[in-house]
A and B are shown apart, each in its own frame.
Chain A
């Protein structure tokens, strides 16, 4: 059952919110021991579902009425733990709801639980969690990708209807690709970040993960829009993506040869078939140039390390949590050390300011490319996921992020939809758009999704 069909079933009374929550809890009981996608279940979910059922009967149903929503463990949900999958915050019970959670509750969405992730979102594999790695439901024994590993795995295994993830350098799109689900990184500043425990404040965005494109559209329409309490937001009141099934006829779709230079040829083969399909549907395929896409990775890791170092200074063990350096894992400590070094006054110009200049370069290149086309398509992750427990060097691990990072540096939007499989492992196609170009990328994603469902 698709997301829209489920909403319809709940509204028609064929399925109650309480029954839907029971179904989700049953799936979690059955599967979470193996997948480790959830870190905590909302013990009040059934009670909250009862309240939604009462509202449904009274004709006051919101857009998400009765749907179960999983939340990445770096977003504040009142009464639940936002641990960031770290020992640092293992006892941190959120004192308030993040703005996105307030909006979900207002529309009748039921928070089913908090999902596993890479510790403080530092990772692309889902393995750096202090509470154990998450398995990939679509390719058991392989990494689910990260850092929103639990959210993608929970959606892929139908333990929830929809999920929230966060994306700083690809953390929604990477696990969506590896798990074969939909993920959207909205334009920077479109979705409120109030209540998000940040990794890199100039790059982070909260976004939806869903089993189908309409599910992501629905959740994005609920969470997007200006929040008066935040200074870094786009001047957009609310969004509505009505033209989802408009097709791609007449659209100009960009492809770049630089993508295939960085990508496993087996993945490139899957993507090229989808590009041909878009052409068959009437889209015009245009070659674009992104000459410095490879260098974006270096700039990104220098910038994010500085911002992460700054963000973690509050974890000094005085007011809440434990001192981060005393309890954190290897990757978190490495980024703190890197950020601390770069932040020193004598090195600031050489490393940090230089990285910010490269950010400008990437932003200009992507902006120029997006002026020529309506959307850019290409692979999401340049290589196939490794088997859980495989030891990779940090640089090998960072290489997963080559193709997702540019959208974060430029603040543009991007989404992922399953394109096919290589040896039974899902491969996602990334669709990138202009700032506030979500409607166009969602249209392309929907066209690809409909085609996939037809070809079975």
Chain B
């Protein structure tokens, strides 16, 4: 394995380039038609279902609601609230 060259990174410059990319890419997509969101390219089999079929979107939305309802702790928006580890305090 050959050694890497020491990189002299400039985080500020990298951050600026990231912001520029975000600006350019957001501008490109902002005028496109509004659609339902796609999280995965395919409707895949759900092995937890005995029939082996993918869950329909309505069931998946329902699952999310159920999941949030049984989370150990959540905020007003339904986001999972996590505890900071004691050793980190």
A338-366 near B? 1/0 per residue, CB < 8 Å: 10011001000011011111111101100
Query: Is A228 positioned at the interface, with any CB of B under 8 Å from its CB?
Result: yes
Contacting residue for A228 out of B7, B25, B47, CB 8 A: B47
Contacts of A411 in B (CB 8 A): 40-42
**Taking the nearest CB of chain B, how far is it from the CB of A42, in angstroms?**
14
Contacting residue for B44 out of A232, A355, A357, CB 8 A: A232
**Taking the nearest CB of chain B, how far is it from the CB of A397, in angstroms?**
11
CA distance A322 to B3 in the complex (A): 17
- Can you name the residue of chain A whose Cβ is closest to the Cβ of B10? A330
CA distance A68 to B4 in the complex (A): 27
Contacts of B35 in A (CB 8 A): 357-358, 360-361, 364
Given contact pairs A131-B4, A334-B18, A394-B21, A357 touches B37 in the complex (Cβ within 8 A): yes
CA distance A81 to B26 in the complex (A): 38
Stretch of A277-285, A295-303, A416-424 on the interface side: A295-303
Given contact pairs A330-B7, A354-B30, A394-B17, A298 touches B25 in the complex (Cβ within 8 A): yes
B7-38 near A? 1/0 per residue, CB < 8 Å: 10101001101110110111011101111111
CA distance A410 to B43 in the complex (A): 11
Given contact pairs A228-B47, A329-B7, A361 touches B42 in the complex (Cβ within 8 A): no
Query: Is B39 positioned at the interface, with any CB of A under 8 Å from its CB?
Result: yes
The answer to whether A295 touches B37, judged by C-beta atoms less than 8 angstroms apart, is no
**Taking the nearest CB of chain B, how far is it from the CB of A100, in angstroms?**
18
Given contact pairs A298-B24, A329-B7, A337-B18, A357 touches B2 in the complex (Cβ within 8 A): no
Query: Is B52 positioned at the interface, with any CB of A under 8 Å from its CB?
Result: yes
Contacts of A435 in B (CB 8 A): 41-42
CA distance A411 to B54 in the complex (A): 15
Interface residue tally for chain B (C-beta within 8 Å): 40
**B23-75 CB contacts (< 8 Å) to partner A:** 24-26, 28-30, 32-42, 44-48, 52
**Taking the nearest CB of chain B, how far is it from the CB of A265, in angstroms?**
24
Query: Is B1 positioned at the interface, with any CB of A under 8 Å from its CB?
Result: yes
The answer to whether B22 touches A202, judged by C-beta atoms less than 8 angstroms apart, is no
- Can you name the residue of chain B whose Cβ is closest to the Cβ of A87? B4
Contacts of A354 in B (CB 8 A): 26, 29-30
**A401-453 CB contacts (< 8 Å) to partner B:** 408-412, 435
Given contact pairs A334-B17, A337-B18, A358 touches B45 in the complex (Cβ within 8 A): no
Query: Is A233 positioned at the interface, with any CB of B under 8 Å from its CB?
Result: yes
The answer to whether A361 touches B41, judged by C-beta atoms less than 8 angstroms apart, is no
Interface residue tally for chain A (C-beta within 8 Å): 62
The answer to whether A132 touches B36, judged by C-beta atoms less than 8 angstroms apart, is no
- Can you name the residue of chain B whose Cβ is closest to the Cβ of A83? B1
- Can you name the residue of chain B whose Cβ is closest to the Cβ of A357? B35
Q: Is the interface of B mostly helix, strand, loop or mixed?
A: loop
The answer to whether B28 touches A231, judged by C-beta atoms less than 8 angstroms apart, is no
- Can you name the residue of chain B whose Cβ is closest to the Cβ of A393? B17
> How many pairs of A and B residues are in contact by the CB < 8 Å rule?
136
- Can you name the residue of chain B whose Cβ is closest to the Cβ of A292? B32
The answer to whether A202 touches B40, judged by C-beta atoms less than 8 angstroms apart, is yes
Given contact pairs A333-B9, A395-B24, A360 touches B37 in the complex (Cβ within 8 A): yes
The answer to whether A298 touches B28, judged by C-beta atoms less than 8 angstroms apart, is yes
Given contact pairs A292-B32, A330-B9, A361-B32, A337 touches B15 in the complex (Cβ within 8 A): yes
CA distance A358 to B77 in the complex (A): 25
The answer to whether A395 touches B21, judged by C-beta atoms less than 8 angstroms apart, is yes
Contacts of A410 in B (CB 8 A): 41
Query: Is A177 positioned at the interface, with any CB of B under 8 Å from its CB?
Result: no
CA distance A155 to B42 in the complex (A): 31
Contacting residue for B14 out of A40, A297, A333, CB 8 A: A333
- Can you name the residue of chain A whose Cβ is closest to the Cβ of B42? A411
CA distance A355 to B26 in the complex (A): 8
A297-318 near B? 1/0 per residue, CB < 8 Å: 1110110000000000000000
- Can you name the residue of chain B whose Cβ is closest to the Cβ of A409? B41
Contacts of B19 in A (CB 8 A): 341
Contacts of A358 in B (CB 8 A): 29, 32, 35
- Can you name the residue of chain A whose Cβ is closest to the Cβ of B5? A132
Q: Footprint of B on A, CB under 8 Å?
A: 36, 39-40, 87, 129-132, 187-189, 202-203, 226, 228, 230-235, 292, 294-295, 297-299, 301-302, 329-330, 333-335, 337-338, 341-342, 345, 350-351, 353-361, 363-364, 393-395, 398, 408-412, 435
Q: Footprint of A on B, CB under 8 Å?
A: 1-5, 7, 9, 11, 14-15, 17-19, 21-22, 24-26, 28-30, 32-42, 44-48, 52, 77, 79
Q: A333-B14, A357-B33 are in contact. List 11 more A-B contacts (CB 8 A).
A: A187-B42, A231-B47, A233-B44, A298-B26, A329-B9, A333-B9, A337-B18, A338-B22, A357-B37, A358-B32, A364-B35
